[in-house]
Amino acid sequence: MRSNGTMRTRRRRPLAALTGLLVTAGLVLTGTTTAASAQTAPARTTAAPATSAPHATASPTAADPVGPRQGDFLSAFLYSVAKPTALPIGANDWSCKPGRAHPRPVILVHGTFENRYANWAALSPTLKDAGYCVFALNYGGTKGPILATGDIAKSAGQLDTFVDRVRAATGADKVDLVGYSQGGMMPRYYIKNLGGAAKIDKLVAFVPTNHGTSLLGFGLLARLIPGADVVAGAVCPACEQQVVGSRFIKELNAGGETDPAVDYTVITTWYDEVVTPYSSAFLAPARNVTNETVQSHCLIDPITHLNITYDRTATRLALNALDPAHAQRPTC
């Protein structure tokens, strides 16, 4: 029976990878088209408010809807298309005070072309049920469900502001960050360049772009076409900055990839179709670095880049990283 189950899982792997690839490509194309349209649209006669600068992020309001728990990324993203300011269950209760069991709030940081609901519609309620104060921001864009396309340094500044707001509201000296893709890499800029090391205890990163990505090959292809990389950088600065070998990635990793004051955990998958090879997500070995692969705990898990924050094994690894004193063995 075990061999039959393994064969079924193996047959699902190519389908899961293909689905992830197609959805990711769709997000890339949608994000590029959306950003380009925003830049080329005719100016309106009514002046925009002074606070609506490019890549600014609107503050959460009481009107932000709370979306239902979701079981996969695509369902969550489609929900956010209709309700782009949606919050995942459990997030942004500004009256929450951390207890003794979990003294640090957890801030969830989404990935490129995505938003706080699309990435965290499962993990946020899971963390809340476990007794954490949970917060999630949208960053790197102006409106709509496709965010995190702006300059990564500016996005890190938005994270800095959000961290300070959470610390002030909760009374916590430090917070823990859980990020996905760009959201797992961008906090490293914050830690290295914006004083984040004094405010962050742990960074848990799902499939982070720590050493760049080929953007499904589009990013590297753009470098072969004269001027294409310039256009791509203007439309989506974060995309160009995350391409393998970019100046941003080189500078981020120069002089050491981690800060000794922060504990880092990277969680990745063999079947990552965006960060390739998957091992490029790993940080350089250090006493405060743990590099995890889902398949080291569940060999038959076919999880891909897009859905990893909805994966049971990956979720357990994140929970263990946040609370190692009460770690549980991951299961398939």
- 39-61 pLDDT tens trace: 333 333 333 333 333 333 444 45
Helix pair 228-235, 2-40: axis angle to 10 deg: 90
Residue 233, pLDDT above cutoff 60 = no
Distance CA 73, CA 29 (A): 17
The arithmetic mean of pLDDT across residues 87-102, rounded, is 97
Distance CA 218, CA 216 (A): 6
- 303, 312 Cβ separation under 8 angstroms: no
Q: What is the pTM of this model?
A: 0.82
Distance CA 62, CA 52 (A): 19
The arithmetic mean of pLDDT across residues 57-86, rounded, is 86
The arithmetic mean of pLDDT across residues 308-313, rounded, is 98
Residue 247, pLDDT above cutoff 60 = yes
Query: Which pLDDT does position 215 carry in this prediction?
Result: 61
The arithmetic mean of pLDDT across residues 82-96, rounded, is 97
- 6-41 pLDDT tens trace: 434 444 444 444 444 444 444 444 443 333 333 333
230-239, 268-277, 296-305: least confident range: 230-239
* Rounded percentage of the chain residues whose pLDDT exceeds 70: 75
Distance CA 321, CA 315 (A): 10
Closest-CA residue to 17 (of 222, 212, 305): 305
Q: How many CA atoms lie within 13 A of 39 on its CB side?
A: 16
C-alpha radius of gyration, the chain, whole number: 19
Distance CA 149, CA 268 (A): 22
Amino acid at 131: G
The arithmetic mean of pLDDT across residues 298-302, rounded, is 97
- 240, 229 Cβ separation under 8 angstroms: yes
